[in-house]
């Protein structure tokens, strides 16, 4: 009986995980340019989990160090990424407070770490974002500098220019 109960439990877990795992998209990421699409930097896989959205980068050619990482309002990377608008802020908080503070932008993601070889492969979890469909038709942005999760001393975490951008336009699938 215990074996059957264990098998039912494991099967339930697998079904629950599968219901999250089948929600995944791949976002092609490119260096920003004034017009058109710049050189490819790789992709970021976005997948659903019961803990929030998981962003798994497969990027190369970046400057080593820490980089601001955000979802922006518009689905455009034109004009060196400026056409993407501001950080995704559906509740109109007007505050950049990082990914763990629910009084700020919903598009604030954890910092992106780029290794000494210029590659980013470490996943980041955005616990306040629950569904891929909520961020469709937006852009995913990597900034030149880091992010201090504050509007002080510089607005939007002080990340600087918009270096790499991708459009979150695909329908969630796997």
Lowest-confidence segment of 35-44, 122-131, 132-141, 154-163 by average pLDDT = 154-163
CA angle 25, 28, 103 (to 5 degrees): 65
**Confidence class for position 171, pLDDT limits 50, 70, 90:** low
Q: How many residues does the chain have?
A: 174
Q: What is the pLDDT of residues 37-82, one digit of tens each?
A: 899 999 999 999 999 999 999 999 999 999 999 999 999 999 999 9
The domain locations on the chain are 24-168
Is the pLDDT score of 133 beyond 50?
A: yes
Cβ distance 40 to 33 under 8 Å?
Answer: no
Is the pLDDT score of 31 beyond 70?
A: yes
Dihedral sign for Cα 124, 32, 157, 137, please: negative
Cis geometry, peptide bond prior to residue 151 (ω within 30 degrees of 0): no
Whole-number average pLDDT of the chain: 86
Is the pLDDT score of 166 beyond 80?
A: yes
How many other CB atoms sit within 10 Å of the CB of residue 101?
Answer: 15
The fold of 24-168 is Immunoglobulin-like (2.60.40)
């Amino acid at each position: 009986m215990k074996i059957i109960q264990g098998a039912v439990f494991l099967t339930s877990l697998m079904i629950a995980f599968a219901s999250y795992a089948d929600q995944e998209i791949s976002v092609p990421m490119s260096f920003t340019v004034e017009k058109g699409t710049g050189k490819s930097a790789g992709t970021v896989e976005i997948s659903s989990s019961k803990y929030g959205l998981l962003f798994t980068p497969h990027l190369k050619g970046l400057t080593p160090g820490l980089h601001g990482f955000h979802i922006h309002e518009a689905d455009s990377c034109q004009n060196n990424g400026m056409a993407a608008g501001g950080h995704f802020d559906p509740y109109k908080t007007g505050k950049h407070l990082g990914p763990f503070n629910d009084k700020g932008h919903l598009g604030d993601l954890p910092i992106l770490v780029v290794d000494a070889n210029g590659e980013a492969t470490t996943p980041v979890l955005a616990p306040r974002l629950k569904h891929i469909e909520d961020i469709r038709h937006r852009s995913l942005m990597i900034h030149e500098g880091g992010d201090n999760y504050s509007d002080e001393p510089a607005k939007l975490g002080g990340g600087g220019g918009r270096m790499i951008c991708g459009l979150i336009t695909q329908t969630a699938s796997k």
